[in-house]
Structure formats: structure tokens, C-alpha cells
Amino acid sequence: MPLPLEDIKVLDLCRLAPGSFCTMILGDLGADVLRIEEPEGERRGRPLATNADEKRSLAFSPTRRNKRSIILNLKMDGARDIFYQLAKRADVVVEGFRPGVVRRLGVDYDTVSRVNPRIVYCSISGYGQKGPYRKTPGHDINYVAMSGALSLITDGEGRPVVPANLLADLAGGGMQAAIGILAALMARHKTGRGQMVDIAMTDGVIYLLANVVARYFSHGELPQPREGPLTGGLPHYNVYETRDGRYIALGALEPWFWENLCRALEREDLIPYQNNTDKYKEIFAFLTQVFRTKTRDEWFSLLGDKDTCVTPVYTLDEVFADPQIQQRRMVAEIHHPTWGKVQQVGIPIKLTETPGQIRSLAPYPGQHTEEVLAELGYRPEQIRELQAAKIVG
């Protein structure tokens, strides 16, 4: 069965999560992704795959799967020459450095596009390629803060709560980059020309706040954490502790879901008051009290089939034991020649005719250097000379 991106060649210059997540998406959908790795001495704490633990950890790395790996010392002319040869055959380049780094290395968009005018070149950075903060360092927490999202994620005392690196790194960065690359490839199909895709993770998080921003633009109202309709301000869209110290999530926004819940809890008298803010304190108190009378799983068993928008708040081990998640194949099992059965997160994009596939697990850094150079026409003795000169690894 064909893969949707099987003819697309990607050069992956990324070191951190945002870019690696982007190229994971492309690889899962069939692209031939080649990681351009730095020499061992410059890998700054990333896996060297020099012992069994590191090699086993690599096998479970989802952001390195479906990729090959070559080590190029791009600070050396010989390595850049090899990169240009690869770029001539490539469709996409993805990099995640601070603006200015790839220009110093000689692998920036202007340079690469002269080598291959059809290249789609994606740069992922915190603040983008233009603007006063473009060279400012940062990580997910900084971009979530700068975008305004962190001000909406607070604890009971109003202090911002640091979320996992899902908003900026992965959704605002990696996913936006993948969308931009696919759009640029479609445009190239029409125009015959490549282009640059400039992704700022801060922009991406602001984009995710589109509905919140719309309310601010239209009414001039600043959203308040834990007071908005989707951030804890509604009793019927909230999280409640259960008898066993776990939590149940309630999302009965629509009137019919609220009615079904009230009937299941034998409180039909509350049905008319779903949107009566004067009653919210009473409804909060009732739901807080009633959900503490049963365990989380008892509530899900009781309400899960009552059309009420109630679900358990799972820990990760519970997520992958759930029959819904298993049937959706969000647990992938792949055989590794050394470590046996390896589990990874599955592919969420379900295509009926050309589904994605995990074809290979993470490579060791430089695992495919000789293979890739041979594809470019280098003879074995030439490859040995390049290795001896530390141009490749």
C-alpha cells in the first residue's frame, strides 16, 4: 500500500523537540527523512548511543523513528559540499536553530535555494526570522508566557501553572511547521518553485488562542483564568474529585447533555439553571459533594453511556490500557532486533487509502552515513578519507 509522502525527501537539521516532532509527522506519513547529526563532541548531552542504555532509549524515541542518520560536521567545507549534494535531491529542509545560525553554517534558505530552487525550507524558532526578539533564546515556557496562554493556566490561587511542552514546542511549533510544509509542497505543485516556511512558536500559540483572542478583539474583555466557560468558570464544564482521590471530567455544555446528567443524578430541578450564574455556587457545591460519593470508575460506569460528556481523568498507564485507545491503534508495537518488542505512540492521522506507517525505529547517530554517501556516488575509499578527516562520522 502506498504512503502519502513516500516520494518526498526531507533533510532534518533539527536538534530539539519542535523540529523533530515535525519531521516525525512527515516520516510517519512516508517521507524519506535524513537526520543531519552533529559530530559527537558537539552533541551537547543528546544520546551518543555508546552504551546499552542509550541504545535502548533510542529504540523508544518516537521523534527519531522512520528516519536515517548521517553525521556531517557542517563547520567544514567538505561536509557542506555533501549537504549541497543532498539538497539538490531533497524536497524539504527543516531546521530549528536560532536565526543566523544556519547562515553561519552556510546552509540557510538563500544558499540552499540557489542549489535547488524547488526546495521547501522550514525554519522553526521561538519568535520567527524577523522582529526585535528574533535572536532571543527561549523554550516552551517562554513562548507560552509571551503568547498570553500561560496567564490562562493557573492554580486555585491565580499563579500560572507550567504545562507540559505541548502548546508551544509541539502544537505551536512542530505541527504548524508540518502544515506549512505540506501547504508549500502543494503550492510548488502549482508553481514549480519552493519557498521558505517561517514558523515562530509564539505565533503558533497565539493562533491556538484564536477563539479567546476573538472575544478580546470584539468585546475588549480580558479572559480571566478559571472564570471563562472553558477554563473552569462553569460547573458543568469542570473537573471533580471522586471518592478514591481520583478525578472525573465533566463537559456537559449543551443543554441536552446537562439535562441527561441532572436526570442521572436525580436532580432534575437543576435543569433550568444551567446558564444561571446566580445558581453556579449551589451547583458547584452539589457536584463537588455528589462526585465524592463514588469512585472515579464507578461514575464512569454509571454515566459513561448516559450521553452526559463524562470521562475519567487518566494517568498515562491507564490511557494505553483503555479499549478505545487500543482499538484506535494508538499503541504501536514494533520489533527491534536487539530489544525485541518496542512500544511507541501510534499515528493519529487515519487515512483510509494511504495510511501512515512506522517503518523503522530510531537510528544511531551516523548509522547511515556510509549508505547515504554511497547513494551520492562516493566510493568506499573516499568515504574512509572523509571519516579520517572528521568531515563525516
The string of DSSP letters for 47-113 reads ----SHHHHHHHHT-GGGTTEEEEEB-TTSHHHHHHHHHHHHH-SEEEE-SPTTHHHHHT-SHHHHH
pLDDT band at 43 (very low <50, low <70, confident <90, very high): low
Using alpha carbons, select from 340, 333, 342, 245 the residue that is nearest to residue 297. Answer: 245
First to last CA, the chain: 35
| pLDDT for the residue 274 | 95
Query: How far is it, in rounded angstroms, from Cα 53 to Cα 358?
Result: 22
| pLDDT for the residue 50 | 67
Percent above pLDDT 70 for the chain: 97
Q: Is the pLDDT of residue 330 over 90?
A: yes
Q: Is the pLDDT of residue 327 over 70?
A: yes
Catalytic residue, chosen from 108, 169, 198, 203, is 169
Q: How many CB atoms lie within 10 A of CB 346?
A: 19
For 9-208+348-388, the fitting CATH number among 3.40.50.11740, 3.40.50.10540, 3.40.50.300, 3.40.50.720 is 3.40.50.10540
Q: Report pLDDT digits (tens) over 7-25.
A: 999 999 999 999 999 999 9
Q: Is the pLDDT of residue 48 over 70?
A: no
Q: Average pLDDT for residues 253-273, to the nearest whole number?
A: 97
Q: Report pLDDT digits (tens) over 133-185.
A: 999 999 999 999 999 999 999 887 889 999 999 999 999 999 999 999 999 99
Q: Report pLDDT digits (tens) over 340-351.
A: 999 999 999 999
139 is catalytic: yes
Phi then psi dihedrals of residue 204, to 5 deg: -60, -40
**Parallel, antiparallel, or unpaired for β 310-312 and 247-251?**
antiparallel
Q: Report pLDDT digits (tens) over 196-220.
A: 999 999 999 999 999 999 989 999 9
Cell of 260: 441527561
pLDDT band at 40 (very low <50, low <70, confident <90, very high): confident
Q: Report pLDDT digits (tens) over 281-310.
A: 999 999 999 999 999 999 999 999 999 999
| pLDDT for the residue 54 | 81
Catalytic residue, chosen from 139, 297, 307, 322, is 139
Residue that is written with C-alpha cell 544511531 in the block: 364
- Global pTM? 0.94
What average pLDDT does the structure give for the chain?
95
Q: Which residue has the higher pLDDT, 264 or 41?
A: 264
| pLDDT for the residue 1 | 81
CB environment 353-386: b (16+ within 10 A), e (fewer): eebbbbeebbbbbbbbbbebbeeeebeeeebeeb
| pLDDT for the residue 230 | 80
Percent above pLDDT 90 for the chain: 89
| pLDDT for the residue 45 | 47
Q: Report pLDDT digits (tens) over 59-80.
A: 899 999 999 999 999 999 999 9
Half-sphere exposure of 328 (CA within 13 A, CB side): 14
Using DSSP's 3-state secondary structure scheme, residue 10 falls into strand
